[in-house]
Amino acid sequence: MKKLVSVLLASSLLLAGCQSGSSSAPAETSQPVTTAAETQKETTKEAEESGGVFTGKAPGFHGDIVVEITVEEDVITDLKVTEHSETENIGEAALPVLAQQALDNQTINVDTVAGATVTSDGFRAALKDAVESAGLDVSKLSQAVAASDGQKEEVTIDTDIVVVGAGGAGLTASLSALQNGAKVVLLEKMSFAGGASSMAGAGTTATGSKWLAEDGVEDSPEKLKADLLENGHNLNHEPTVDIFVNTVGEAFDWLVDPEGANVEYQRPTTSRTYSGVGRGAGVVKTLLAHVEEAGGQVLMSTPATELMVTDGKVTGVKAEGEKEVYTINAKAVILATGGFGANDDLVPEEFQKFVYAGAAGATGDAIEMTKAVDADLINMEFVNVQPNSIVLPSGLGQYCNPGVGGAYKTSGAFMVNEKGERFANEQGGAYELIQAMKGNEASYLILDEASFTAFNEGMKGSKIYTDEDVETWLKNNGSSNPVMVGGDTLEDVAKVLNLPDGALTAAAESYNQAVDAGTDEFGRTLTMKISGDGPYYAVQMWLRYYATLGGLHVNEQMQVLNTSQNPVDGLYAAGEAVGGLEGDIYLGGSLFGWAMTSGYKAGTSVAEAIQ
């Protein structure tokens, strides 16, 4: 099955309510009847003549987007987004861009912000609703944003370091370099910072850090290395693993130090990871603010287009903004452009039957740019796949770990395949569950009322969806994504899912018998039965992929190597653009930990090298 990439379009507009007039007049007065339509017409006429403030709303990614416009003589003089629940650093960051574009061009028909399609659709629908409420001519305000004349100003910048990509790795590289005395220009092709890091939970490996020692957690670089190799089935690139395990403690100390990156993390911990406050989006927001405070020049919506190479040395980049074309001369370049999960030309075909859940900007830019220097690539065949996912209406995959964790702890809940049969230990290791799900045509999580409630509470608590979403999806009854169905009996649910007659009931009975025994044939420890009384629910579960595990080959200083295994003068890399750390599946905390660690390492290495 092809990768799901459908775009959610706003399907309805919330139109302004009509003002009611009286339904009749006393006969003896012979007064004309004022209809609701005539009253609305008068209201619209007054609005057109005097202007005012009007609101509109429409569904966004996580709830309604509410737009407020100020109108004077048929012109929108002010535009504000007054309410929204969009994803921090993604949809949230797109809204002011959309609002400014609409205001400057006096149009509803603003361009979609890359990476925030659903938010863009919702904003346009909300703005149209506000325009209709104001009685303005929608057709006149629906022209496309005027195209530029194609002429862009040529700008030359001289700096010490150019960092390409403002995700977690690029931000930490920029900040560590700035704090070590370098001048930095940071480029980001999207209109907002963060990349995959903004979508992450921000669990960060801290092996070897002061915090971990103070909190009494026993760990070591040697143990972390052994765990990475075992988890990655010894398919990791060992020298890259060594960079991580020997630097991560120092990097985490800097990350939380008030004199370093000064990023807020939660403590204490009982594992080798700490969680960033505000998840990945919160960490990114803090890092970006500190980069700007430290004097970094940040250029958004400005993709780097090519490396500048002179006599084999990388001497800067070419880049293109909305109004400028840049030549940026630098002593070194750090590529932190992320992975290639959004590029079907690079993702192995075997993974494309799963659902993509990564950043829209992860198109493998570093891989394309480094062809000019014959860069070496490693582990390109490995893509991180994870279970426990739904498919959102947008077509993107969404992890459900907060939901399934709560469901399994609360009451009876288990998974079945298209035959209505259980097939795995649902609470076992991710790798084993992935292998089992790969053999299914479809996988469904079966829940009773208590576990369904717990599932949704976990998802809502992580701001993944709302009660209104659940209501809508249940009404859809499996006709669209996400597939979420309910029924008074298990056989009602089975019928909607086209499962064989009696199979789901038999699976539930077998499951409850295993609870009595304390375990089942898959080795899952069972304590909670599924209820004997309905209602029951099913949620289709998918395998999702997002992080890619291959990429550029670097040395211990984060310098990119060419296919002859020689370092490319002036070129470094960090984050997901670098391959080899994980093997064929990631170890918890290490993806975000690698972004922070490799960025820190690259920034300090380059600042030292150019001095």
Q: Lowest-confidence range among 13-17, 129-133, 398-402?
A: 13-17
Where residue 312 falls (left for φ over 0; alpha for ψ -120 to 50; beta otherwise) is left
Q: Chain centroid to CA 121: how far?
A: 17
Residue 46 has pLDDT above 70, yes or no: no
Confidence check: pLDDT of 114 > 80: no
Residue 273 has pLDDT above 80, yes or no: yes
CB 362 within 8 A of CB 342: yes
Count Cβ atoms below 10 Å from residue 94 Cβ, excluding itself: 27
Nearest residue to 550 (alpha-carbon basis) of 380, 384, 367: 380
604-610 mean pLDDT:
97
Domain 1-11+45-147 has CATH 3.90.198: no
CA nearest to 400, candidates 353, 360, 455 = 455
Write out the DSSP string of 173-222: HHHHHHHTT--EEEE-SSSSSBGGGGGS--EEE-TT-HHHHHTT----HH
**In terms of pLDDT, which residue wins out, 139 or 436?**
436
In the chain, % of residues over pLDDT 90: 74
With 60 as the cut, is the pLDDT of residue 40 above it? no
Least confident of 60-69, 72-81, 289-298: 60-69
Say if residues 241 and 228 touch (Cβ distance below 8 Å).
yes
Average pLDDT for the chain: 89
- Position 215: which residue type? D
Could you tell me the maximum CA-CA distance found in the chain, to the nearest angstrom? 101
Which of 23-27, 349-353, 354-358 has the least mean pLDDT?
23-27
- What sections of 23-90 are H helices per DSSP? 36-50
Contact 361, 342 (CB under 8 A): yes
Query: Looking at the chain, how many residues does it have?
Result: 611
Query: pTM to 2 decimals?
Result: 0.83
Query: What integer pLDDT is reported at residue 147 of this predicted model?
Result: 63
- As a whole number of angstroms, the distance between CA 580 and CA 249 comes to 20
pLDDT higher at 290 or 411: 290
With cut-offs at 50, 70 and 90, classify the pLDDT of residue 115: confident
* pLDDT, position 111: 85
Q: Does residue 30 carry a pLDDT above 80?
A: no
CB atoms within 10 A of CB 104: 12
Rounded Cα–Cα distance for residues 125 and 66 (Å): 10
How much is the pLDDT for 61? Answer: 76
Q: How many helices (H) and strands (E) does the chain have?
A: 16, 24
What pLDDT does residue 94 have?
A: 86
- CATH fold, domain 396-543, is Flavocytochrome C3; Chain A, domain 1 (3.90.700)
Q: What is the pLDDT of residue 149?
A: 62
577-to-61, 377, 437, 479, 558 alpha-carbon distances in Å: 28, 10, 28, 38, 11
Name the DSSP letter for residue 15: P
Assigned fold of 153-382+549-610: FAD/NAD(P)-binding domain (3.50.50)
Task: Using alpha carbons, list the distances in angstroms from residue 162 to 197, 367, 574, 611.
Answer: 20, 17, 13, 15
Look at residue 291 and tell me whether its pLDDT is greater than 50.
yes
Q: Which residue has the higher pLDDT, 37 or 412?
A: 412
Q: Where are the beta strands (DSSP E) in 418-556?
A: 443-448, 484-487, 536-548, 551-552
State residue 7's pLDDT score.
Answer: 32
Band of residue 146 on the pLDDT scale cut at 50, 70, 90: low
Going by C-beta distance under 8 Å and a sequence separation of 6 or more, which residues neighbour residue 267? 211, 215, 274
pLDDT value of position 62: 67
Instruction: Check pLDDT > 50 for residue 366.
Output: yes
- Average the pLDDT over 37-48 and give the result: 45
Q: What is the mean pLDDT of residues 123-128?
A: 91
Query: Beta strand 383-391 with 397-399: parallel, antiparallel or unpaired?
Result: antiparallel
Beta strands 313-320 and 551-552, pairing class? unpaired
pLDDT of 37 higher than 80: no
Q: What mean pLDDT do residues 93-100 have?
A: 88
What is the DSSP track for 505-530?
HHHHHHHHHHHHHTB-TT--B---PP
Q: What is the DSSP letter of 339?
A: -
Q: Where are the domains of the chain?
A: 1-11+45-147, 153-382+549-610, 396-543
Supply 550's token pair: 């291959």
CA dihedral 390, 396, 402, 403 (to 10 degrees): -20
Instruction: Tell me which residue has tokens 């992929």.
Output: 545
pLDDT at 89 over 80: no
Nearest to 413 by CA among 315, 539, 227: 539
pLDDT value, residue 3 = 42
Kindly report, residue by residue over 448-498, the tens digit of the pLDDT. 999 999 999 999 988 788 898 999 999 999 999 999 999 999 999 999 999
